[in-house]
Amino acid sequence: QVQLVQSGAEVKKPGASVKISCKASGYTFSSYYMHWVRQAPGQGLEWMGLINPSGEITTYAQKFQGRVTMTRDASTSTAYLELDSLTSEDTAVYYCASHLYSSCDFWGQGTLVTVSS
């Protein structure tokens, strides 16, 4: 069965960077897109962007352009999200979601990132 297992919670100071991993299993990782979505406390879902199967093409939401980087490693079936210049407004749960049939078909369990001085 498809599984996405994300790295653990992070606590960062303002201005720092965070890198989250998402390890996939149960499907051919290198054949499908991966999305990243975040959810601030008590808020709705916010799409951050996606990376194509080969890892050569990324599409980012304009809001995150310039401080987000999505990568993937086919050898370990792992996708990564890196977000720079963190502020308190980046405190959220970050999800990876694989695009097998449509958009976000299968989701990771989420990674809580807390930004606090």
Provide the binding-site residues for another protein, judged by CB under 8 A.
35, 37, 44-47, 49-50, 59, 61-62, 95, 97, 101-110
For another protein, the closer of residues 104 and 115 by Cβ is 104
For another protein, the closer of residues 35 and 72 by Cβ is 35
CB of 48 to another protein, least distance (A): 9
What is the secondary structure of 92-105 as a DSSP string? Answer: EEEEEEEESSSSS-
The answer to whether the beta carbons of residues 10 and 111 sit under 8 Å apart is yes
Give CA torsion, residues 92, 3, 65, 19, to 10 deg: 70
Separation CA 53–CA 96 (nearest Å): 14
CB of 50 to another protein, least distance (A): 8
For another protein, the closer of residues 49 and 86 by Cβ is 49
Separation CA 115–CA 106 (nearest Å): 27
CB of 28 to another protein, least distance (A): 17
